Amino acid sequence: METISTAKAFGGTQGVYRHKSEACQCDMTFAIFLPPQAEQGPVPVLWYLSGLTCTHQNVMDKGEYRRLAAELGLAIICPDTSPRGQDVPDEKDNWQFGQGAGFYLNATQAPFDKHYQMERYISQELPALIEQNFPVDLTRQSIFGHSMGGHGAITLALKNTGRFKSVSAFAPIAQPSTAGWSKPAFEKYLGNDPAQWRAYDSTLLIEDGHRVPELLIDQGTADGFLDDGLRPWLLEEACKKANIPLTLNMREGYDHSYYFISTFMDDHLRWHAKRLFA
């Protein structure tokens, strides 16, 4: 593992690291903020999964999480959104597919199946690497994300029962198997059989019996992707049918940007901390 950078912030350390990934068959980069409490022993972990076109850098620069994470004693881990490199298949003119758009799934279709193994990377390889190299307590971990990352956070929590103490999302893609900006990606990554897409669709996973104890979602009413890409009412309906407690905050006038995310970041950190330290 290579250290790209470290910087002191709010008594803790913001680091960025690179390593060779077996799952993705390329170099992968991630960021981790360690609060000052990590100097005394392992601290709980909160995973943040970013959205389309993003890397670890977006939330690190714009998410405004370090002050409160330091106060609460939370490590914040920010992985990349996809494999990257010259040998990784891509569609450079399509921001909804390829590098920057891994959708946190394991691709089954060539040529994407060699590199686009983001679910395995996030759920297996990266946690093992983190646990070996940093003072974190993975018996206390939670997950959240934005947009495509919100989709990833919810699906990972649904499929890994008991692993995450809590899950939340900012403007998640609620039903990617039918959304205009994700259905084409699913076809390329997973093939033409919609039955194979169910494992990466929050609403369909709930329909198939997967559960989380509760769910917190913040969504801006001025989000330009609300009606075609996000559609939180579909997730609301699925949770209602499954008796999953859902707090859906429709935030008047907010859009899809990090101005929106940073505004409500503290709410999510406190919500997760309450459950991580329970």
Indicate which residues carry an active-site annotation.
147, 223, 256
DSSP 3-state assignment of 240? helix
Q: How far apart are CA 133 and CA 182, in angstroms?
A: 35
* Burial class, 54, CB count within 10 angstroms (exposed 0-12 / middle 13-18 / buried 19+): buried
CA dihedral (244, 249, 250, 256) positive or negative: negative
Phi, psi for 207 (deg, rounded to 5): -60, -35
- Of 171, 135, 178, the closest CA to residue 150 belongs to 171
- Of 26, 31, 25, 36, the closest CA to residue 4 belongs to 31
